[in-house]
Structure 1
Amino acid sequence: MLTRLAIRDFAVVTAAELEFGAGMTVISGETGAGKSLLVDALGFLSGQRADSGMVRHGAERAELHAEFDLAAASDASRWLQEEEFDEGDACQLRRTLRADGGSRAWINGRPATLAQLAALAGRLVEIHGQHEHQALLSRPSQLALLDACGGHDALLAAVAGAANRWSALLRERETLMRAREGRPGELAERDEWLQHQLAELDREPIDPASIAELDAAHRRQAHSTGLITACDAALAQLDGDGAMALPRRLQLLRGELARAQEHEPRLADVDAMLDVAAIQIDEAGLLLERIRADLDVDPSQLDELERRLTRLHELSRKHRVAPENLAAQRDALAAELESLRNAAVRLQALDGEIASAAASWNKAAEALGKARAKASKALSKATTALIAELGMGGGRFEVALEPVEAGRPDPQGGERAEFLVSANAGQPPRPLRKVASGGELSRISLAIEVAALGHDAVPTMVFDEVDSGIGGATADIVGQKLRALGGSRQVLCVTHLPQVAAQGHQHYRVSKAESAGVTQSAVRLLDAAQRQEELARMLGGVEVSTEARAAAKRLLRNAS
């Protein structure tokens, strides 16, 4: 959910900061005041190409900053973790647009590419309106929305699993076939190469425990002189009856305290602790003697240990794995050698496994296809009904399922979805991406979202002028549908209709004014009284009448 949007030196906005909550937020203002600039700012934060014309005249750069709460954005959270941009449950997007045309982007304070910005923003914000980049125009997004509406996660997983299994088996079979038939002797050459690699690896103890022990032995021998000096110095303090020896000093200390115990009984506890310390010191001395006995400066042993470590690192570089992974590499090569030596048997088995995987995919894809057909009918019916309510009587919405080319199991199933729409009765349905009218496209997108009840994973939906070209009762319905959608997703709506604006849970007004010959826009969050006055302005124009104020009050009362 979008929680904060800050804009500086963007178009005619010198500085603006907006805070958002759940539900539906309305943005209104006079024509040309800059209402859609807030949507444009989100568009640039979503990775749109830089446009130096959006930098305020006289400024060096525009700065855009958005903060999101990821509590309801699990898809975005996963992406952040995978790309190593994660910072807990919050997310910050920042972008600067320079007057010379350059731009920079950051995700959670870390530099990011525009592709990364777009990938993340596509999981956070979905913009509907008079814009060319909309998720619902993408066929993959249409299929994903259909599957989300139908709750097809388990079916999709089964289809993808069967397809991936089939592909892996086919690659294994092709590798074996090339080795056997592609070039004479290739199988024998591979067999010989594998044997040589395994022989090299088997000459060294490469299990992780042996490598760790070798490394420890090398460190001990490399620092043997210093270790011997440290042990001898410590033993001189721990061993002997001299005045400076630790046991002797401890004994004298206990004697002094014993003479004073009759005056302070608690000193007996101190003496008991020192007695335990004396025992520990004796044991430490014995262990230190054993360690010292094990130490010896042996240049030949150090050379041998270094030779073995060097050999391990050479093997590591050769096989492009860390030293501790050499054992796993050896096991993989041994498995491949075993597989090659049993290539004929494995090939025969693979034919059956490939056929079985294809049959599994066909079964899973058939189940998914039936579920998609059912979901398509439900979504088509619900969206068509909503299109009529939104002032497009006679319009029709359909979800067409088109089979993919046969040949190999597809991880996404055996069909693709295409959203089709007919805006008026008697017209044949056309792909949604080819609908020419921006206003129609906005309302159709709204109808699809409401019918889908926000099943797509994007938590924030922005509607820019979705009420274009409508009024009266249809405007009331648009507002009600947007408010209903706000029950499951955050909704931001730029509008010029009071019927829609009255349905918002919070209301921002964008205004413009001229200062020193420069036009500037300002954004203000309205309280209840200011909101009623804004609705009256939207109803009555420049001259706000008593009747307009009464109508605005009635709209707010009906919406609440």
Structure 2
Amino acid sequence: MLTGLSIRDVVLIEALDLDFAPGLGVLTGETGAGKSILLDALGLALGGRGETALVRSGAGQAVVTASFVTPADGSPIALLLDENGIAREPGEPLMIRRLVKADGGSRAFVNDQPASAGLLRDLAQHLVEIHGQHDDRGLLNARGHRRLLDAYGRLDVASVAAAHRRWRAAEAELAEMRESHDAAMRDREWLEHAVGELTAVAPEPGEEEQLAERRAAMQRGEKIATELQGIADLLDGSEGGLARLRQAARILERVADDHEALGEALAAIDRAIIEGAAAQEKVDEAAEALAFDPAQLEADEARLFELRGLARKHRVQPDDLSALAGDLAARLARIESGGEALERLEKSVAAAQAEYRKAADSLHKARVEAAARLDRSVANELKPLKLDAARFRTMVEPLAEAQWSATGSDRVEFEIATNPGTPFGPLAKIASGGELSRFILALKVALAEEGGARTLIFDEIDRGVGGAVASAIGERLSRLAASAQVLVVTHSPQVAARGNRHMLIAKSSDGIVTRTGVTPLDTDERREEIARMLSGAEITDEARAQAQRLLEPA
């Protein structure tokens, strides 16, 4: 709901601060007083074009600030603010400010944070509906008719949306599977060859490292085989060192008791024999480990080259060949079973589509029934508004399957025929200015609380009518104001008398500068203004009496 409007230096308005409240507010004034300036200023705050012509002559910039009630958490307005990074303070009103410079350019702020004019327009869709003779938004926008009908009938669109998501998700999964299967089929011959080749080789993790180490060991053994044999001969040959030490030990054993030093010499030789034997054992162990087998070396090298060649071919490490073999075999297996998987997914898509179709058909029937109720409700409002020759209908037509969406399978549009025998057509193209405004009012009354924005502005909806029709317009605006804030710019005293608050728009001049101002009227001032509207320039007592009767509760 709009709670305040502050205007600075807009056309003829130098400075103006207005407060608004729930219910029906009326704005009156003589022709040319500047009522359109007020709406232009509000339109600027709601994302309208920031034209330099709006800046008051002699001023550097024009500024308009509109305040609205605090948006509820989870509301479309709150979600828009959150999505655009606009901070919200609990309990604080929503503040929208627009600035237009005289030399060109404009800036916008939401809650004192920079914002785009596009965000202002998005917010405006949920804040204010302005209906006039040249309005091209709100009820005239056929794209919103389906939502309005669903809200009016309180229809279950959520289940259709859920069914649509499941259907599209199943289709996406099927498309992905088909793409994967088609790609796999193109690679089938290569996969069969690769799996056969890898299976024949049967690589094992870590095998390449083991083969490389064993080959290196045999190559080292080949190089030092002669040296090892020479060491063995020197240690344990018939003329080797150990044989000579043992001979010396046997001789010393016979004479060791003859002198202490001989015994010590025998002990030293015994130790030398033990160490020499240990050395011989280690040399033999090394010789065995480094034993060179030409056949084994050739086999290891062939296996090593085969593994490394496969690794280069498939662009993996040799240790990854075993895992690759498993992956390729799995892909090949999926090809074999892919036909069955595709068939299962196709059945899932068909089932999901059938579920969506069932939900959409049910919604379609509910829409047709709601449309009939809405048509009857609007028809009841047309005659009192002097539109008794006109006809209204809500078209609910099935869409082509390619156009089915989360909102169902229908196209919904409000249509009218203004005269008997004339074809139905869109609201904006068929109705004249005055008729269009009254059609919008009839629709708004019929839709009651389902119109969306909580502030409705009607600009001269009563132009060209008077008497009973004007009274009917005023009565319906009053009914509409019971569930929404309604502001109406009017020339009709019957409409003005229905308001909960009355503001007078007037132009003044000091001979040099002309200004537009807005004054809230008290009860006596209001009676006087309505009397002026009834009688013209000269207010008569009869006009005052008639104004009093209009102001009296029905």
Counterpart of 1:109 in structure 2 is 112
Taking only the aligned residue pairs, the percentage that are identical comes to 41
Measured in 2, the distance between the counterparts of 1:346 and 1:340 equals 9
Q: 1:57 to 1:368 in 2, by over 3 A?
A: same
8 Å contact 1:24–1:482 — kept in the other structure?
yes
Aligned runs of 1:53-452 on 2, under 5 Å?
53-70=53-70, 74-87=75-88, 88-89=90-91, 90-152=93-155, 155-182=156-183, 184-185=186-187, 344-407=339-402, 409-452=404-447
1:182 deviates by 4.5
Measured in 2, the distance between the counterparts of 1:463 and 1:35 equals 12
8 Å contact 2:72–2:78 — kept in the other structure?
no
8 Å contact 1:361–1:409 — kept in the other structure?
no
Ranges in structure 1 where 5+ consecutive residues have no aligned partner: 193-336
Measured in 2, the distance between the counterparts of 1:160 and 1:361 equals 8
8 Å contact 1:5–1:64 — kept in the other structure?
yes
Q: Does 1:7 align with 2:18?
A: no
Q: Does 1:31 align with 2:26?
A: no
The one-character-per-residue Cα deviations of 1:115-155 (angstroms, maximum 9, x if unpaired) are 11111111111111123432111122111111110001xx2
Counterpart of 2:529 in structure 1 is 534
1:552 deviates by 0.8
1:482 deviates by 0.2
Q: Does 1:480 align with 2:456?
A: no
1:185 deviates by 3.6
In structure 2, which of residues 499, 520, 527 is the aligned counterpart of residue 504 of structure 1? 499
8 Å contact 1:187–1:340 — kept in the other structure?
no
The one-character-per-residue Cα deviations of 1:243-296 (angstroms, maximum 9, x if unpaired) are xxxxxxxxxxxxxxxxxxxxxxxxxxxxxxxxxxxxxxxxxxxxxxxxxxxxxx
- Count the aligned residue pairs: 412
Measured in 1, the distance between the counterparts of 2:521 and 2:188 equals 78
SS at the partner of 2:356?
Answer: helix
Cα root mean square deviation, aligned = 2.5
1:181 deviates by 1.0
Q: 1:532 to 1:347 in 2, by over 3 A?
A: same
Q: 1:340 to 1:391 in 2, by over 3 A?
A: farther
8 Å contact 2:25–2:502 — kept in the other structure?
yes
Measured in 1, the distance between the counterparts of 2:519 and 2:444 equals 29
8 Å contact 1:358–1:409 — kept in the other structure?
no
SS at the partner of 2:157?
Answer: helix
Counterpart of 1:289 in structure 2 is none
| One-letter amino acid of the counterpart of residue 14, structure 1 | E
1:188 deviates by 9.8
Q: 1:85 to 1:340 in 2, by over 3 A?
A: farther
Measured in 2, the distance between the counterparts of 1:353 and 1:93 equals 50
| One-letter amino acid of the counterpart of residue 42, structure 1 | L
Counterpart of 2:308 in structure 1 is none
Measured in 1, the distance between the counterparts of 2:398 and 2:385 equals 32
8 Å contact 1:180–1:186 — kept in the other structure?
no
Measured in 1, the distance between the counterparts of 2:32 and 2:350 equals 64
Measured in 1, the distance between the counterparts of 2:55 and 2:80 equals 30
| More deviation, 79-88/355-364 | 79-88
Measured in 2, the distance between the counterparts of 1:96 and 1:503 equals 35
| One-letter amino acid of the counterpart of residue 179, structure 2 | R
SS at the partner of 1:26?
Answer: strand
8 Å contact 1:70–1:76 — kept in the other structure?
no
Measured in 2, the distance between the counterparts of 1:130 and 1:496 equals 14
SS at the partner of 1:371?
Answer: helix
Measured in 2, the distance between the counterparts of 1:126 and 1:450 equals 14
Measured in 1, the distance between the counterparts of 2:181 and 2:37 equals 65
The one-character-per-residue Cα deviations of 1:434-469 (angstroms, maximum 9, x if unpaired) are 135222111111110000112122111110000011
The one-character-per-residue Cα deviations of 1:1-27 (angstroms, maximum 9, x if unpaired) are 110011111111111111111111101
Measured in 2, the distance between the counterparts of 1:483 and 1:418 equals 27
8 Å contact 2:454–2:485 — kept in the other structure?
yes
Q: 1:131 to 1:63 in 2, by over 3 A?
A: farther
Ranges in structure 2 where 5+ consecutive residues have no aligned partner: 195-330
Measured in 2, the distance between the counterparts of 1:167 and 1:134 equals 32
SS at the partner of 2:461?
Answer: coil
8 Å contact 2:71–2:94 — kept in the other structure?
no
Q: Does 1:471 align with 2:466?
A: yes
SS at the partner of 1:558?
Answer: coil
SS at the partner of 1:123?
Answer: helix
| One-letter amino acid of the counterpart of residue 116, structure 1 | L
Measured in 2, the distance between the counterparts of 1:86 and 1:461 equals 26
SS at the partner of 1:454?
Answer: helix
8 Å contact 2:63–2:100 — kept in the other structure?
yes
Measured in 2, the distance between the counterparts of 1:340 and 1:136 equals 55
SS at the partner of 1:351?
Answer: helix
| One-letter amino acid of the counterpart of residue 93, structure 1 | I
Runs of 4+ in 1 over 6 A off after TM superposition: 186-189, 339-342
| One-letter amino acid of the counterpart of residue 458, structure 1 | A
Q: Does 1:42 align with 2:37?
A: no
The one-character-per-residue Cα deviations of 1:68-109 (angstroms, maximum 9, x if unpaired) are 114679332232233332413521111112223311111111
Measured in 1, the distance between the counterparts of 2:352 and 2:152 equals 28
8 Å contact 2:403–2:409 — kept in the other structure?
no
Measured in 1, the distance between the counterparts of 2:409 and 2:446 equals 25
| More deviation, 416-425/502-511 | 416-425
1:343 deviates by 5.1
Q: 1:59 to 1:402 in 2, by over 3 A?
A: same
Counterpart of 1:549 in structure 2 is 544
Greater C-alpha Rg: 2
1:408 deviates by 6.5
TM-score between both structures, scaled by the size of structure 2: 0.70
Q: 1:44 to 1:346 in 2, by over 3 A?
A: farther
Counterpart of 1:231 in structure 2 is none
1:348 deviates by 2.9
1:347 deviates by 2.5
